[in-house]
Structure 1
């Protein structure tokens, strides 16, 4: 049921009645749709059908896979229309994933705050005209599921490689309605309205070429951000070595203390007998073993349980179609 006083959302924006009802009262969606309608005239539906939005997250930056993602996108028929860097804070995290985080565990929400805000992201507006289905729906399907174990060859997250449920390199808007809403979350009016205008003002029907801009931003992001190994084994090995060095330092005192407990717990994690990442961080602090931000991120995202048992998200995520939320 539509919210009283809210505008009717056209079905070309979403196949889901519940999404159309919720977005009718969503400020982000409404402002973006208003901007597009103001400059788009009769071309609103065409813009929504032909374009998709892809966010390359901080894990793609530090793992040096930005360029591989761009090359995959271009090789699979998409054009890069526009590119920009964006920085998210905890409010942006909640706005972007607002309709799914109600089913997310506290561990998952805490980990998202930690890694999504770790550095700037790369935002791409893509085009894929001439297809019967919307470009955003095509991209949502070919990017692959959030869980790397469910990805298949030919999907972006399989071909480029991802690390776990959260460190999976990219986020894509599921449908045209999500494209508009997420552009409002990630870009202000002063950025968004001119982008709509420039894209729609190409009278010859051609698509703007933002490839050079996108690859230049890749170089800028990677030069400003140190590379990180995001594999769990590497982090566990490094922390185990640090814990053992601390244990050697206190062994003469006659008890292993926190450093020994940390080394033992890390051994259980490495052997698959524990997933207590918060315990690792607690013992590391007690033992004065330094843990970097990205080591915290790797531990949390690899070891956490992402769901609240029995909870269902307000809207389905195409990355996890058919899974309990």
Structure 2
């Protein structure tokens, strides 16, 4: 089977005409589809229907939410058929969220670069056969929206506990077309071909949960825990500024304390001013403190901009 054109992309991959048109000329999607066709035979639709892709992001690693997320997925009924760690650079950020970042603010794009690349992520291929809906659609709805305020009990992001619009622990491929495309963004040809072949093998029904939990242990051992709450970060920076001021006048430190107070009083969301004043006062700001400030306080959208594809609350 040749790689399909816009009018030939099967309905089981996506029913969105706009996505069919874009993905027909998307190199990631085309290569992944070609790899699946090469080994899938008549079981391509079965693979796409029964599987879902879940990425546990660096905020899940440092907040120690990896284990709870895996247990939630298993309790929901998914099985883990493959698990691996992946490192995402700034190019990967743009590739993975290519069709939504056009409507993202510069602050959101900068924050995504900062936190998605902060450490390794955990990537899972999940299976949920026997459902009327594709597994990817089931997972996309079950994980909950990006905004924690909109999450409901029973959804992954609510039950495990996300922090803000960006620090929401997980990303899931929205539907089968995205499953294929994102496997191409996150995995090379050799990995994809092996994964497709092994998963479609009639004897490859083993549950890989033990491998996934072993990767959780490795990631957490290699990555220090971080408190991702805004109030904690503001208090840490305020304490550091007060320490700088002990026994000597320090105008930048006083301005930093004032900027922190305005944020606490809901009179400001200027996180860049806090970082600038901290730098000028010699108050150290860690990478994750910058991430917490930015992701809690930024405005994620460009006013009036529309994503190339419908916003499904999975943007970085």
The two structures have a TM-score, normalised by structure 2, of: 0.96
What is the distance in 2 between the residues matched to 1:36 and 1:278? 45
More displaced 10-residue stretch of structure 1: 268-277 or 51-60: 268-277
What is the distance in 2 between the residues matched to 1:317 and 1:219? 33
Q: Hey, what does 1:76 align to over in structure 2? A: 76
Q: Hey, what does 2:213 align to over in structure 1? A: 215
Match of 1:277 among 271, 274, 299: 271
Q: Hey, what does 1:113 align to over in structure 2? A: 113
Map residues 51-130 of structure 1 onto 2, 5 A cutoff. Answer: 51-130=51-130
Q: Hey, what does 1:144 align to over in structure 2? A: 144
Q: Which runs of 4+ in 1 moved over 3 A?
A: 4-7
Q: Hey, what does 2:297 align to over in structure 1? A: 303
**Could you list the per-position Cα deviations for residues 65-114 of structure 1 after superposition, in whole angstroms to 9, with x for gaps in the alignment?**
10000000000000000000000000000000000000000000000000
3-state SS of 2:248 partner: helix
Structure 1: gaps (5+ residues):
none
**Could you list the per-position Cα deviations for residues 281-312 of structure 1 after superposition, in whole angstroms to 9, with x for gaps in the alignment?**
10001000000000000000000000001110
Q: Hey, what does 2:157 align to over in structure 1? A: 157
Cα distance change of structure 1 residues 37 and 95 upon mapping to structure 2, 3 Å threshold: same
More displaced 10-residue stretch of structure 1: 240-249 or 102-111: 240-249
Counting matched residue pairs gives 312
**Could you list the per-position Cα deviations for residues 251-301 of structure 1 after superposition, in whole angstroms to 9, with x for gaps in the alignment?**
2xxxx4111100111111111111100000100010000000000000000
CA contact (8 A) 2:172 2:314 kept: no
- Deviation, 1:8, is 2.1
C-alpha RMSD of matched pairs (Å): 1.4
What is the distance in 1 between the residues matched to 2:107 and 2:206? 41
What is the distance in 2 between the residues matched to 1:12 and 1:202? 22
Q: Hey, what does 2:231 align to over in structure 1? A: 233
Map residues 225-264 of structure 1 onto 2, 5 A cutoff. Answer: 225-251=223-249, 256-264=250-258
Cα distance change of structure 1 residues 47 and 320 upon mapping to structure 2, 3 Å threshold: closer
3-state SS of 2:12 partner: helix
Cα distance change of structure 1 residues 5 and 209 upon mapping to structure 2, 3 Å threshold: closer
CA contact (8 A) 1:55 1:172 kept: yes
Cα distance change of structure 1 residues 283 and 249 upon mapping to structure 2, 3 Å threshold: farther
CA contact (8 A) 2:269 2:297 kept: yes
